[in-house]
Structure 1
Amino acid sequence: MTKKWLYPLVIAVILVIVTGCSQGNEEIVAKVGDEKITKEELYDTLVKASGQQALDIMIEDKVIAMELKKEKVTVSDEEVEAELATQIESVGGEEAFAAALEQGGITEKEFKDSITEYLSIREVVEPRIDITDEDTKAYFDENKESLSTEDQVEASHILVEDEATAKEIAKKLANGEDFATLAKEHSTDTGSAEKGGELGYFSHGKMVAEFEEEAFSMEIDAISEPVKTEHGYHIIHVTDKKAAKEAVYEDSKEDIEKLLLEEQMQTAYTDWMDEAKEKYDIENSLLGK
């Protein structure tokens, strides 16, 4: 489904088109020496580059708004906040989410407005999709191996450049100092250091060989001696382990249904939009330019 927050350049074009249509065409927007660039020239360039795409999105937005109003679709604040929390978690937390918004040039309010639109559309489109038991069972049978889980280790680490520093930190840990605090203070892996050294769960093949070999051989709650890898010296704290688990259909069914639903949403949305557009007299003066 089309998500407006994924198109910051197109949105910028839309804004230029709107302002370009509402003000004098000879307005000067830039100068290079004595040469002038007018708003009309800028408008024409942007229309040729992305104008049709931008206008198509604006037309769809108008159709969506009219159809949702006709259907009297409403989305609660709780639903929006729940979806927002899911999106924040999917990108790696609040800081990563804020960085993504800044990079995309949108505000959290604009993002939440887009979520509201997406959930509203989903409410209308989802009833068109029928996921049967045969569908989920067929997917399970075809993907059973990938749905199974390997044995995993949950660990934290403190990474430093030299062995002397690593031994100093190991001594502090042996004397009872807090692992997370020392990770924040000393670890050169800034991504995990902010989280007290936490790396989460990982399976075989995800870490460098020396690190992985040590982590999988350790007991839960154990702290390693310094381990040398190509990145430096690690002190590893194993916090949990999960045994390998073969996929079971009943345990996987709900997740498969959600996956198949998302896969079919785009087609269902396109069909719904095509049908909705047929209800309105749409004129597009950019066509043919």
Structure 2
Amino acid sequence: MKKLFICLFTFASLFSFDSRAELLDKIMAIYDDQPILLSQLKRIKANIPARRNISPQIFSKAKYSLEELAQMRIRSKLIRAKLNEMGYIVSDDQVEASIKSTEQRLGLNRAALLNFLKNNDFSFDEYFELIRESQEYGLFVSRVIQPLISITEQDIKNAYYQKNSTNKSLSFSYNLVDFSIDESALNSAQVKALKPTLVEFQQNGVLPEAYSTVSTNELGNLTEDSLIGPIKKALASTNEGEFSEPISLGGSYHVFYVKKKDLVESSDYLDKKNQIYSELFQKAIESISDSWFNTEMEKHYVKTFF
């Protein structure tokens, strides 16, 4: 019955003509039994600046294609369906309370708000529903997406290092294991294969005969200031949980396994830490939300016509 309704609605919308056979409207997408019309998308597209001003968390870009807007409408409906399933319903009273709170915060009365909306080609009904969708989006992020996000201290430090990798004032502390072998025991090809051989050894515990004299030394926790230049250089491009490239020291080849690599918390790092966390959090919201929407769409009848 639902499919019959969709077909009839599609037919009626696609073939509604006046006496000059002009197309009046068109279905651009369908979510379950709810059509999304071309006129609706064009209306949203016409007042994107006002929408960005009112709800930047939803309308984060200056321009959107009609297809992007259709996807946004579908996502809004998916969010509402999920919240309803969880027992969260944003009522008219909640929306009205939010609008009154905004008026008080900005020192506006209802007449001033209506005048602002009129000047921005935005009706009060559109504003009301956008406030509802903004509240729903906030609930969606806090109740559905945020519990799936994990950002560690190390994630923040890694991001800071990537942004400031050319900054010579950066300093690290390490926990290292030194793997060494006498230079006379290896030919040039075997030296080149030393690092990948140790990676395999870490996985299977087996060392080829040519590397049987490799010795290990737990160096423990070290500051960067305590390391000599060649070791600093080898470790600069080596991440935590990786082996360094071989270096020659005192008649032996050395490869260092980095058990731990911590950025020493400078004042600059501490100043930027919260900002970096916010950036990582926003990226995680976008990435996890995309995966969530793709999964949820499979539970509904969703079709677009672009």
Normalising by structure 2, report the TM-score: 0.37
Normalising by structure 1, report the TM-score: 0.38
Greater C-alpha Rg: 2
